[in-house]
Amino acid sequence: MIKIALYGKGGSGKSTTAANLAAAWAEQGYKVMQIGCDPKADSTVLLRQGQEISTVLDLVRSKKDYGLDDMVRVGYAGVACVEAGGPAPGLGCAGRGIIAALEKLQEKGAYERFQPDIVIYDVLGDVVCGGFSLPMRDGYADQVFIITSGENMAIHAAANIAMAVENFRDRGYARLGGLILNRRNVRDEEAKVAELAEDIHSVIVGALDRSETVQDAEELSRTVLEAFPESDMAAQYRALADSILAVCRKEKD
């Protein structure tokens, strides 16, 4: 099983990228599970044509009997979709919610039931404390990939995420697989992200163009691969999916 944590600042295109990667791998015949670890609970919405699903935390709070079929719903190309969810606004800690959700998935035997080849943890990267750091530790993810643009706040968040991964390195937790450049067409964007990669002793594993095709697909509540499978952006997502798998396999070897 290949386990990937995808981190990035809110608004960086992280969830859109995660969903399109999941679609690309599923189209190749892999069993894929995507777990949204963001309180907004919108990580898998493009995989389910805009249909929301009950979050794990909502099910826990309901105190009713529930099973894996309530927690995990199947989306485009058979991707198993999960949303951790978050607390009610102003109440509780979103990070603790992620911990509770991932523990429940294990308790209910989600990985044994669905037997995914690839698991994607889609994690908010504005903060990397508490539960938000869980997917990069405690045996969840093997590799962390950070999505960033050349915008200053995105680069700042990416540097903090990389630092968190480095701090856990000696404990045998997830390793940093590299950066994903999601272009916003800001000045000197390529150079800024290349400099960041050098500073954190990593590499850029792939890049995505800023494209109206992505926006058009989102308006249809679809991934690009489902809505526009022959588009240039679909090809870019497929190429990125291949690059990420190559990194993961190299680390396993």
Whole-angstrom Cα Rg for the chain: 17
Angle of helix 212-219 versus helix 232-252 axis, rounded to 10 = 100
Asked if residues 145 and 124 have their Cβ atoms less than 8 Å apart, the reply is no
Give yes or no: 14 in active site. yes
- Residues pairing with 144 in the sheet: 5, 176
**Catalytic residue selected from 14, 104, 122, 192:** 14
User: Hey, is 16 helix, strand or coil?
Assistant: helix
Give yes or no: 38 in active site. no
User: How far from chain centre, in Å, is Cα 39?
Assistant: 13
**Catalytic residue selected from 58, 70, 117, 126:** 126
Give yes or no: 122 in active site. no
Helices (H) and strands (E) in the chain, counts: 10, 8
Give yes or no: 31 in active site. no
Which amino acids are annotated catalytic? 9, 14, 40, 126
